[in-house]
Amino acid sequence: MERKLLLLGLLRRQKMHGYQLHEFIDRYLSTCVDLKKSTAYYLLDKMAAEGLISESEAQVGNRPPRRVYSLTEVGERHFQALLRQNLAGYWPAYFAGDLGLAFLDHMEADEAMALLQERRRLLVQALARAESAPQHPGSMQYVVAHQKAHLLAELRWLDEVLAELAGPGKS
């Protein structure tokens, strides 16, 4: 699971507590990952139980004590393995929007175009968000850059479909 790779990788740079990890991901990687707070705690618990990370408590004022995690040696080896496995693998992306396109011939071209124009608007919005997202230095930039490349390809593709709907065979 890639989320494990992510958490392990972040903890490899420095020990962090759950809230902090969630915050970091939300800030720098939200274009790519949507990790809920509960899920972060859930995964950290599990990985601590598996011995991949170790926790230590840190009190600040009267707040709930922070549970600060750091990589164990087992965790480090696990990270190395996961990273290599991830880089050497290809996982097909899942496009939820494709299934609508599959049934495009169940409706009039005019309505389809109007609906897809709305999709286009959201796409452009997403692109703008990606452009203006804060960047973390280093190879984490690849994540945002890839997202941008993908969104641009998606936009071109969508415009092709729209053109075809507008005038089938008109070109």
Based on CB atoms, which residue is closest to its own copies, 48 or 140? 140
Phi-psi region of 70 (alpha: psi -120 to 50; beta: other; left: phi over 0): beta
Neighbours of 61 (CB within 10 A): 4
Based on CB atoms, which residue is closest to its own copies, 60 or 122? 122
Helix axes 2-13, 18-28, angle to 10 degrees: 110
Query: From DNA, its own copies, none, which one binds at residue 15 (CB under 5 to 8 Å depending on kind)?
Result: none
Among 49, 60, 61, 89, binds its own copies (CB under 8 A): 89
The HSE-up count of residue 133 (CA atoms within 13 Å, CB side) is: 26
Based on CB atoms, which residue is closest to its own copies, 20 or 31? 31
Sole window of 64-72, 106-114, 128-136, 137-145 interacting with DNA (rule: CB under 7 A): 64-72
What one-letter code names the amino acid at 131?
E
Based on CB atoms, which residue is closest to DNA, 34 or 73? 34
Query: Scanning residues 20 to 59, which ones bind DNA (CB under 7 A)?
Result: 20, 23, 34-39, 41-43, 45
